[in-house]
């Protein structure tokens, strides 16, 4: 059984829901990236705009000022894969020039019409996510006929659109968007049926780390949710290819246990 890769989260923002302001200097961002890699991260996901519920958008220039120095610093000190977490084509373009390897677009290339051209010009892997609404309104009243079926249909349409525009779907990783326009029960249904998304023929990313649904179940505060985050990663490890987490060490230990049990005779 192949274990999922661990993507370590590096938010160079002042207002992210979990670690806002902790790594918003180049030195602290580089130090945190090094710690994530030592703990077992194979990908560092760098974002300069908070996508927490009700977050305010930031300008392109502000986002560039946050992420580009961090990407350059991480690339100068490590060969780890770097993904740029952005919906803005110019931010993604400059990030790739600075050393990023992957584009992670939570809008699934819908927010910025120039993102498609950038994807067509490059051959880098792309992560597209499902989100109902926007960060500003997604948690007001999310509704689905059937959350898993609806997300599957969304991805089918996006993949067909990408293929029609000459993008090799083999480059695409799908993220069902835990917490992005979903209730507690929606999130649990997605987790229970993750294997159904593999029918689309793409790799799958799970981004559940420290999110509200974990707090709703456990009554733990945000910074105390790493244990249940690691448990979810372990329980879903056979269905996903990448897990995106804040505490890489905890998730790495959980996945090591999964591997040991799987290899036992």
Query: 215 near 221, Cβ under 8 Å?
Result: yes
Please list the active-site residues: 211, 244
Residues pairing with 47 in the sheet: 11, 85
CA 47 to chain centre: 10
Per DSSP, helices labelled H in the chain are 26-39, 60-77, 89-98, 115-121, 147-164, 184-192, 212-218, 226-235, 248-263
Residues in contact with 187: Cβ distance below 8 Å, sequence separation at least 6, in sequence order: 178, 179, 208, 211, 213
CA 215 to chain centre: 19
Nearest to 111 by CA among 94, 96, 128: 128
Query: 254 near 234, Cβ under 8 Å?
Result: yes
Per DSSP, helices labelled H in 57-143 are 60-77, 89-98, 115-121
Classify 140 as helix, strand or coil: coil
Terminal C-alpha separation, the chain = 14
């Amino acid at each position: 059984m192949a274990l999922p890769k661990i993507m370590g989260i590096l938010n160079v923002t002042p207002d992210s829901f979990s670690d806002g302001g902790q790594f918003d200097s180049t030195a602290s961002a580089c130090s945190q990236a090094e710690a994530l890699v030592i703990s077992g991260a194979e990908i560092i996901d760098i974002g300069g705009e908070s996508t927490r519920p009700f977050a305010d958008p930031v300008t392109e220039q502000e986002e560039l000022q946050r992420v580009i120095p961090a990407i350059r610093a991480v690339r100068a000190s490590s060969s780890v894969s770097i993904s740029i977490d952005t919906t803005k084509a110019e931010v993604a373009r400059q990030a790739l020039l600075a050393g990023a390897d992957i584009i992670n677009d939570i809008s699934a290339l819908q927010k910025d019409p120039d993102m498609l051209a950038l994807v067509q010009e490059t051959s880098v892997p792309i992560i597209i996510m499902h989100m109902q609404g926007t960060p500003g309104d997604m948690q007001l009243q999310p509704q689905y006929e059937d959350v898993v079926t609806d997300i599957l249909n969304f991805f089918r349409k996006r993949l067909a659109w990408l293929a029609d525009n000459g993008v090799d779907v083999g480059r695409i990783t799908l993220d069902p968007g835990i917490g992005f326009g979903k209730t507690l029960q929606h999130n649990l249904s997605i987790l229970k049926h993750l294997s159904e998304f593999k029918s689309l023929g793409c790799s799958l990313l799970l981004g559940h780390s420290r999110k509200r649904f974990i707090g709703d179940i456990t009554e733990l505060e945000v910074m105390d949710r790493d244990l249940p985050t690691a448990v979810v990663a372990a329980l879903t490890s056979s269905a996903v290819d990448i897990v995106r987490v804040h505490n890489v060490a905890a998730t790495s230990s959980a996945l090591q246990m999964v591997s040991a049990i799987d290899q036992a005779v």
